[in-house]
Structure formats: C-alpha cells, structure tokens
Amino acid sequence: MRIISQDGNYDYPYDCIEVQLEGVLINLRRMSNCNELVTVAVYSTKEKAGMAIKMLHDAYSGILPLTCMDELKPDVKPAEAFLTCSMSGDLCFEHMGNYYFKFPDDKDVKL
C-alpha cells in the first residue's frame, strides 16, 4: 500500500515509512533516512488528526483479506470486492497489489 499526502505531493510505500501523529500534524519518516521528517497532513484539531490515523489503520487492515484473491467467487470482480471491504478514507484499487491511501482534507474528516 502507498501513502499519499493531503496535497498529493508526497507518495511513499507504507512498508518503508514510520507514521507519526504529533498534535494536529501527521508526519512520515522514511526508514532509509531517519533525519527526514515530512508533514503529509494537517488538521484543525487533534481529534481529526487522530481520526485520520484511524482511517489509515482501517484502510491498511481492509486490504489484508484481499491478498488471497483466488478465494473470490467467479462472478465477483476484485475491484468490487475491494471496494466493499474498504472502511473509510480515500482508499482505492486500480491493479492487483496497487493500493493507496490519501490523507483526506480536514473538512472530509468526520468525528
């Protein structure tokens, strides 16, 4: 899964980063460069920032069952199955194994 910033300027593979919640900021730190901290989302309240992190967790946990696509019924398309499993956030499926989560705008985070 890939993580995309609110503004779309940053795009990182989830398995190569550390996600940090710091007040109203969501920051990423690349494992290959521990000195670089990138702010990928800013929210109006700590609660909204926390909800955005929960949305990320829900998105990530929502894709795990779909790693075994051969268990799908023949009449169900993988994209349809994926969309029914997504829980929240801007979670999308384009090609098998190509998932991404884009941090939502502040106005789109509901408490």
Pairing of strands 37-42, 90-95: unpaired
- Interval 59-97: pLDDT, tens: 887 654 443 344 444 555 545 555 544 444 444 444 445
CA distance 107 to 29: 25
CA distance 16 to 32: 8
pTM score of the predicted model: 0.68
The pLDDT value given to residue 41:
97
- Interval 4-54: pLDDT, tens: 999 999 999 888 899 999 999 999 998 887 788 999 999 999 999 999 999
